[in-house]
Structure 1
Amino acid sequence: MLNRISGGTSRRPALARVSHVALAAMLAVAVPAGTWVAPAFAQSFRFDSVQVEGNQRVDAGSILTYAGINQGETLDAGELNAALQRIRNSGLFEEVSLEPQGSRLVIRVQEYPTINVIAFEGNDRINNERLATVVQSQARRVYSPAQAEADAAAITAAYAQSGRLAATVEPRIIRRSDNRVDLVFEIREGNVVEIERIAFVGNRSFSDRRLRNVLETRQAGLLRRFVQSDTFIAERIDLDRQLLTDFYRSRGYIDFQVLSATPQLARERDGFFVTFTVQEGLQYRIGSVTAVSELPEVDATEFQRLIGTRPGQIYSPARIDNDIARMENLALRQGLTFVRIDPRITRNERGQILDVQYVLTRGERLFVERIDIEGNSRTLDRVIRRQFRTVEGDPFSPREIREGAERIRALGFFADAQVNARQGSSADQVIVDVDVEEQPTGSLSFGVSYGVSAGIGFAASLSEQNFLGRGQYVDLTINTTSSNRAFSFNFIEPAFLERDLALKSNLYWTRTDRDFASYNTRTAGFRPALEFPISELGRLEVRYTISRDEILDVDPETSSPIIVAEQGALITSALGYTYSFDTARSRIDPNRRFVFRISQDFAGLGGDVESVTTTALGRFETRVWNEDVLLRAELEGGALTMISGESRVINRFNLGSRMRGFEPNGVGPRDLEAPNEDALGGNYFAIARFEAEFPLGLPDEYGISGGVFMDVGTLWGLDNTIGTNGVEVDDGINIRAAAGVSLFWTTPIGPLRFNFSHPLRQLDYDREQNFDLTVSTRF
């Protein structure tokens, strides 16, 4: 006789229970079911028939296949128990039992129920829709306790990603009719475990504050409810280690290492203390830099002239990469395929010098067989392919593939982009695999801004960075403040004709109700443009502008006759260009940046205005004192030259936000005889700005720093200087100056800047503004 032994209940959920069978020869005395009796002797079984009972969805044939028992086959107790385990391990049944009844074997099963609905209880921080994407259990599918446990672990991991490490999840079931259950995940979210403190050990060259600004992780601060990066996420620590390494090595610390990054949970289990132990090593500078050739057909002289790295500069991998890229491009232009540039670096530890020798040598003969792209369900293949300078059939360049991968990631279209190379159909062929993960690229945003002059402003914007998957940018923006209203539509095709040629189009309309003047303006225009690189750091934009500019609502009783004579609408048709040079495009020196920009617009190609408008700006900024202090100096100027006719106030310059310490239109030529003393603007302006930004010693997590500034400038020049009562307006070069202090506050709702200023030099009729607050945010 074979007795059936009842099994225990699994830990959770309470539904799962499987019956186990102890197969042994039993004594002739009847033994109650559920009682284990030690085997007395071995016994064999032979069944003429096998019957399955209790199955509803799973057919009997499948169960017999799992069991592996054939009619007429002789089995011992171990083989019968193995059959039971095979059926049980199928994961389809809640209970299984094998009952020998003479020459017949009865297999009784109780199937797992079907999931009726899946519900979440207790969740507040993560909504049901997001949690539904985390779990693998599905309604109208067979319930699996193992899968429910895995889903609970996945939900817990999702909460851990948002810093809620104390979250717990319990899967429960509610039985329904017809062998159905409701699967409910009971969630206790717990509190956010924040980064209370980030500390560094072993750093001598840079302060803790400077290094914290490098990290992705942030300390918890005043606005911790709005800041997500101050929560503890273990995976982010690995990224922080790499960011620290890149930071130091780009500044010449080639031996830098992060020895450890240790997160320690507070005793109250409500926060983490993270300590980075670093070994800085020595800072190295560049010694000699040479180029030599190991190829008899290649002369290294031309390549030597392309080297931009100079002796005495701080070593940076970016400098070396840029030199190699220039040399590789020259080799391609000369038709030299499979030439590899190897940087060979000799270290002089005593002098902390690195001698760099670029060796032109023969590389492997590898060709790009094809580029395979996967994961782009929306973005067109050509948008991704054009990020590579290499096409199928070209010589394979690992550097070009890496740079192409960086350009793909820089698009901002993908949450992740992996680019790898593997061997192709033959030893000299390489296949480049591009695997991307799409992310949303469109946004509907609403914004609020505030300025002491403009007051409160509201903005609405609908933008798409990857329009129709073509990589095009489209933006529709509406702005309004107490003094102006504006509408603009922008379209940018970044790769016009599949080249590094940006096609831009801007349609705009503005109306200004000037609270600080006794007239209003209205402008509507259309501006198409092309922008393209002309050097490694320089770009050129050429454009055409057609606009209708109107001065209206001028009060002849109170306004200057100069403005009265200028009212009305004129059509401007102009060709123009902007050249910009920015060292930040090379990413070589992270501590210094130089920007130069010059623009000119030539009006007179039709329309009512003939003029040349020129503006130029130069900016230099650098970090000093272990990069804790940012210094910035700017020089800006402009000139409006009329070829025929006279300039108008709507086209003349005003210092506006260019010079602190004064109201918009607070300086410059002014008709003092007119009742309203309106500012008239000027045909010329020049201004120098000097600024320093530095820490105030407050905790980093507050995001508050200070600054000092000084502005010196002037606005001058009118074509018509005869004002009210025939009195001539002073349009001379009168220097103004103002100085002040700034308070910067970086908040999750936008950067705030408080300026407290005082004019150092001004004229009696200038209108000063001692305080200014600007805030801008989008949500």
Structure 2
Amino acid sequence: MKRLFIVTLLTIGFIPLLTQAQDIELTDPTAIAPAEYQILGVTVEGNENTREQFIINTSLLIEGNTIIYPGDIVNNAVTRLYRSGLFSDVKIYVTERTATGIRFLIEVEEQPRILEYRLENIKRSERRDLEELLVLTPGTVITEARIGQAKNTIRRFYRQKGFWYTTVETSTEEVDGSADRVRLIFDIDPGDKLEVKDIAFNGNEAFSDRKLLRKMKPLKEDAWWKIFGKKTFKEEDFQEGKESLLTFYRENGFTDIRIVEDSVYTYNYRGDKTGIRVELNLAEGPQYKVRNITWEGNTVYDDETLTESLGFEKGEVFNESKFDENVNINQRNTDITSLYQDIGYLFFQVVPNIRKVAEDSLDIHFEIYEDEIATIQEVNFTGNTRTHDDVVRRTLRTIPGNTYSRQAIIRTIRELGQLGYFDPQNIEPQPIPNRENKTVDILYKVDDTQSTSNFEFSGGYGGAGIGVILSAQINFNNFSIQRAFEKGGWTPIPSGDGQKLSLGVQVTGTGYQSYSFGFQEPWFRGRPTSLGFNVSYNLLNYRNSSERNELFSTSVSVGKRLKWPDDFFSYRTIIGYQLYDVEGNQAFFAEGTSSLLTIEQVLERNSLDNPISPSSGSKFSISGEFAPPLPRFSEYFKFRTQYQYHVPVVEKLVLTSQVQYGYIGYFTDDKRSDLKKFLVGGTQLQQRQSFLYDNIDLRGYPGGTRQSIAPIEEGRKVGGTMFSKYSLELRYPAISSEQIQVIPYAFVDAGNSYLDFQDFDPFKVKRSVGFGARLYLPVLGLVDLSYGYRLDGVEVPGGTGNVLPGNWEFLFNIGTPF
């Protein structure tokens, strides 16, 4: 077919070179006069991967349209097709022209497509990270836009890591001799990782450069003494540092603070060594102080109460962060919004108006719109796939018909988290207010996908006299005894009613065996009353010794929540029976059997926000245990108290302080024995073998009857009638996810066991320091590992095998100390 060449697009500089069209019958194209033609048809050649209709539509040379030819229509068609990025060459021919009609042929050469791409000259880890960021799908056309986007992604990736002067070169190579399927190669030079050598401030008069430099974190300036880690420049650190700097100024009364200009550039800081300099030009403005605080529209609270909640006094420097928190929401729930919402004023609004007066003073006026009290209409919840609705509903502190309370929502979140069935971080309350009816619906979103049952298994060495320790326990923390007897209830474990069932066994190489079974119903007969039952058997048969100890014990407990002094209180009554069988040469325990019938009362206040790793709250308990002097029964009375307090220090860093005391006495003198006296040291795993005593764990010191911290009488270690224990712990949840929690900590422990009142001295204690970690796995439960350094020693009768100071002691335990 005879063709008349009209236009060819050259790719030099991406500027098309368009030639004038030639008529078939004329030799001089300029002699063709522009005329109106109807497009009779358009054909396309050279397209293998691009639809013909797409090419025609993009060119706008559509059959049936009327055009002026010669004119810009053909030139524009070439430009549009080239700008699509799909073609490396475009040619348009006139194949037929009549007096009123014209036909075109569009000939294209397609850009090659990506078969794969490769990143060269970089680390494997960087390659993996970049492959997640780059959007280069096999089969897509290689265009300058896609290549440019990929280059920008690579440069941005390295800039965020602190690299400068990153270069990226691209090339292609054919794969299996196919020109339309190529491998795209990125040759990457990450450049230099430069450190921030200087951060300079201009215009600061109120604070020194050194003070402001500390407020620019996480952006840091390098210095010769800072040997840990590179102080590289990262854009996200720079932006966060600027915001931190502005916040610092605003917290100190400089509400007009502005960063007029900032610049980041490289310079030679020593010879030919290159670093980064950051400069900030500041306009501080005046430091404002509070002059007057006035209120309007408040009827529920008087001006003095609201001003006290705001937390500012006349003449005080204005702290913007403190102001925002105390007006809206603060951690202590003492803000103005909480004052109103805790008593039902959900639709309450406070509008502050801050007016600058004189040169450095502020008048603050609040307009209060109290509105009406909101009533809770409906309360629903979603996400409890494993836990029955009634278990969730009985935990809620927001009840339909009650007045709305923000504090009740906070308590509900805490109570749901304390159950252990839901991820505390994923409990989300969603109030749905209805302003017209003055009601509110509340929806709680929970997540019980984490396992509520766990199997604990551990093994280790407990030291001399104890040997190898093996322990296994299975806990069903959301058990359902009702479903256990229903068809299909075992899928795989009957669960959903919030009951707790545990089975445990522990053995050691010294002949110790322990078996236990426990069950607890936390909501007996539809009331907030807990009912529990426990039974256990312990056997200690010393190797190469005639001594043999057995213990059978069982107990029933009943507990109830209290509403006074507040609803964090609860009490438990525990009735227990214990049967001891002692054989062999026991100096302080008479051979034969001993029985105990005990009644214990426990009063507890627990406001911890998390049962595994609390970040706030406290726990206090006081207990009295009585074994009355019945015929053929042993007797004693015992009092114990403990208090722990958790407070966040910085972000997630938590400081915990604990103190414990205990005392045991007797109703009569003729039945005194070492039974149930106090030993201090070791962990619960080690101490279970000393079941004739009451064992108090203390990190850094071994457990067991022989090496525990206890007084010595008549050449033999005996239990103390009193004990004291103190502990400080600083911990940080390094990893917190549904699969695992890792909580490293540092600790200081101290404690002692005393023979009697005359020997008691609360400051005469055995001390240890150290570190450890708690690992929580949904299947295995909580495992506590500690490594303690003893500052004091423990005397062992006979003078051999003393527990010496200056040594480290590794201990492990199962279960939470909180």
TM-score range normalised by the length of the shorter chain:
0.5 to 0.7
Which of 1 and 2 has greater Rg?
Answer: 2
**Is the Cα–Cα contact under 8 Å of residues 20 and 96 in structure 1 kept in the other structure?**
no
Give the structure 2 partner of residue 56 of structure 1.
48
Distance 1:300 1:512 in 2: 67
Amino acid at match of 1:714: N
Q: Give the 3-state SS of the residue equivalent to 2:236 in structure 1.
A: helix
* Counterpart code for 1:573: S
Q: Are 2:214 and 1:180 equivalent residues in the alignment? A: no
CA–CA separation in structure 2 for the residues paired with 1:266 and 1:742: 48
* Distance in 2 (alpha carbons) for counterparts of 1:603 and 1:717: 20
State the match for 1:66 in structure 2. Answer: 58
Match of 1:338 among 337, 347, 356: 347
**2:702–2:708: 8 Å Cα contact kept in structure 1?**
no
2:534 corresponding residue in structure 1: 546
Q: Distance in 2 between the 1:669 and 1:158 partners?
A: 65
Aligned CA distance change for structure 1 residues 95 and 407 (closer, same or farther; 3 Å): farther
Match in the other structure for 2:659: 635
Q: 1:685 aligns with which of 723, 727, 751?
A: 723
Query: Structure 1: which amino acid aligns with 2:145?
Result: A
Q: Distance in 2 between matches of 1:571 and 1:93?
A: 86
Q: Residues 283 and 426 of structure 1: is their aligned pair in 2 closer, same or farther, counting only changes over 3 Å?
A: closer
Matched, 1:616 2:641: yes
State the match for 2:236 in structure 1. 235
Residue 152 (structure 2) aligns with? 153
Question: Is contact 1:488-1:506 (8 Å) kept?
Answer: no
User: Cα distance 1:107–1:712, how it changes in 2: closer, same or farther (>3 A)?
Assistant: closer
1:78 to 65, 72, 79: 72
Paired residue for 1:715? 753
Relative contact order, higher structure (CA 8 A, sep 6+):
1
Deviation at 1:110, TM superposition (A): 1.3
- Give unmatched runs, 5+ long, in structure 1: 11-17, 32-36, 437-464, 494-500, 532-539, 694-706, 719-729
How many angstroms apart in 1 are the aligned matches of 2:191 and 2:502? 51
For 1:282-297, list aligned pairs within 5 A.
Answer: 294-295=298-299
Take 2:249 and 2:603, find their aligned partners in 1: how far apart are those partners? 36
1:85 shift after superposition: 1.4
Structure-2 residue corresponding to 1:14: none
Residue of structure 2 aligned with 1:650, choices 691, 715, 719:
691
| Partners of 1:742 and 1:301 in 2: CA distance | 51
Q: C-alpha distance in 2, partners of 1:121/1:259?
A: 44
Offset at residue 172 of structure 1 (A) = 3.5
Letter in 1 for 2:550: G
Work out the CA distance in 1 between the residues paired with 2:521 and 2:109: 73
Aligned to 2:791, what secondary structure does the other structure show?
strand
Task: Quote how far apart the aligned CAs of 1:66 are.
Answer: 1.6
Q: Is the 8 A contact 2:700 2:768 kept in 1?
A: no
The whole-number CA distance in structure 2 between the counterparts of 1:609 and 1:601 is 17
Whole-Å separation in 2 of the counterparts to 1:349 and 1:489: 71
**Contact 1:598–1:614, Cα closer than 8 Å, also in 2:** no
Partner of 1:769: 805
For residues 512 and 609 of structure 1, the distance between their equivalents in structure 2, rounded to whole angstroms, comes to 28
Which residue among 340, 358, 361 is the counterpart of 1:328? 340
Aligned with 1:331: secondary structure? coil
Taking structure 1 as the reference length, the TM-score comes to: 0.58
1:328–1:340 Cα contact (<8 Å) kept: no
- Residue of structure 2 aligned with 1:482, choices 457, 461, 464: 461
Q: Distance in 2 between matches of 1:545 and 1:244?
A: 59
- The 2-side partners of 1:184 and 1:355 are apart by 63
C-alpha change, 1:73 and 1:337, in structure 2 (3 Å) is: closer
TM-superposed CA distance for 1:116, in Å, is 2.2
**CA 1:293 to 1:216, structure 2 compared with 1: closer, same or farther past 3 Å?**
same
1:526-553: CA deviation from partner (whole Å, max 9, x where unpaired): 475869xxxxxxxx99784735352524
1:93, 1:733 → 2: CA distance? 93
1:41–1:330 CA distance, 2 compared to 1 (3 A) = same
Aligned to 1:667: 709
Question: Is the 1:506–1:527 Cα contact (8 Å) retained in structure 2?
Answer: yes
Determine whether 1:97 maps to 2:121. Answer: no
The reply to whether residue 573 of structure 1 matches residue 555 of structure 2 is yes
The letter for the 1-side match of 2:83 is N
Contact kept in structure 1, 2:286 and 2:359, CA below 8 Å: no
Residue in structure 2 matched with residue 534 of structure 1 by the alignment: none
Which residue identity lines up with residue 84 of structure 2 in the other structure?
Answer: S
**Amino acid of the structure 1 residue aligned with 2:183:** D
SS in 1 for 2:172: strand
Q: What secondary structure sits across from 1:548 in the alignment?
A: strand
In the other structure, the counterpart of 2:737 is none
1:597 aligns with 2:620: yes
- 1:132-170 residue CA offsets vs partner (Å, 9 max, x unmatched): 432222123444442233233224434444445565544
List runs of 5+ in structure 2 lacking aligned partners: 98-102, 463-468, 479-495, 558-571, 573-601, 628-632, 678-689, 732-745, 774-783, 813-818
Contact 1:542 1:578 (8 Å CA) reproduced = no
Contact 1:573 1:603 in 2 (8 A): no
**Aligned pair in 2 of structure 1 residues 22, 594: CA closer, same or farther (>3 Å)?**
closer
Aligned runs of 1:266-281 on 2, under 5 Å? Answer: 267=268
RMSD of aligned residue pairs (Cα, Å): 7.4
Distance in structure 1 (CA, Å) of the matches to 2:411 and 2:297: 25
Once the two structures are TM-superposed, the CA of residue 94 in structure 1 deviates from its matched residue by 2.7
Q: How far 1:715 moved relative to its partner?
A: 0.9
Counterparts of 1:724-735 in structure 2, within 5 Å, are: 733=760
Q: Give the CA deviation at 1:245.
A: 6.8
Take 2:285 and 2:520, find their aligned partners in 1: how far apart are those partners?
51
Distance in 2, matches of 1:209 and 1:155, equals 33
Between stretches 683-692 and 46-55, larger displacement belongs to 683-692
3-state SS of the aligned residue for 1:571? strand
Cα distance per residue 1:105-137 (max 9 Å; x no partner): 331101233332344444435366654432222
Partner amino acid for 1:637? Y
- Quick check: 2:453–2:475 contact (8 Å CA) kept in 1? yes
Deviation at 1:767, TM superposition (A): 3.4
1:716-749: per-residue Cα shift (whole Å, max 9, x none)? Answer: 369xxxxxxxxxxx99546674698979899xxx
Question: Per-residue displacement from partner, 1:331-381 (whole Å, max 9, x unpaired)?
Answer: 32xxx66344567899999999999989563389999999999xx9x999x
Amino acid at match of 1:180: R
- Partner SS state of residue 106, structure 1: strand
Which residue of structure 2 lines up, in the alignment, with residue 757 of structure 1?
791
Identity of aligned residues (%): 14
Measure the CA separation in 2 of the matches of 1:163 and 1:330.
48
- Aligned counterpart, 2:588: none
User: Structure 1 pair 640/160, CA: closer, same or farther in 2 (3 Å)?
Assistant: farther
Q: For residues 165 and 117 of structure 1, do their structure 2 counterparts lie closer, same or farther at Cα, with a shift above 3 Å needed?
A: same
**Is the 8 Å Cα contact of residues 686 and 714 (structure 1) preserved in structure 2?**
yes
Q: Does the CA-based 8 Å contact 1:135-1:151 persist in structure 2?
A: yes
Residue type of the partner of 1:657? Answer: L
* Other-structure match for 2:591: none
- With normalisation by structure 2, the TM-score equals 0.55
Counterpart Cα distance in 1 of 2:152 and 2:351: 49
* Alignment-mate amino acid for residue 548 of structure 1: S
Other-structure match for 1:460: none
Provide the rounded CA distance (Å) in 1 between the counterparts of 2:400 and 2:91: 63
Corresponding residue for residue 567 of structure 2 = none
Cα shift at 1:427: 14
Code of the aligned partner of 1:108: E
Determine the C-alpha separation between the residues in 1 that align with 2:200 and 2:537: 58
CA spacing shift, 1:136–1:761, aligned 2, 3 Å: same
1:727 corresponding residue in structure 2? none
Supply the distance in 2 between the matched residues of 1:430 and 1:9 (Cα, whole angstroms): 68
Partner in structure 2 of residue 24 of structure 1: 20
Aligned to 1:134: 133
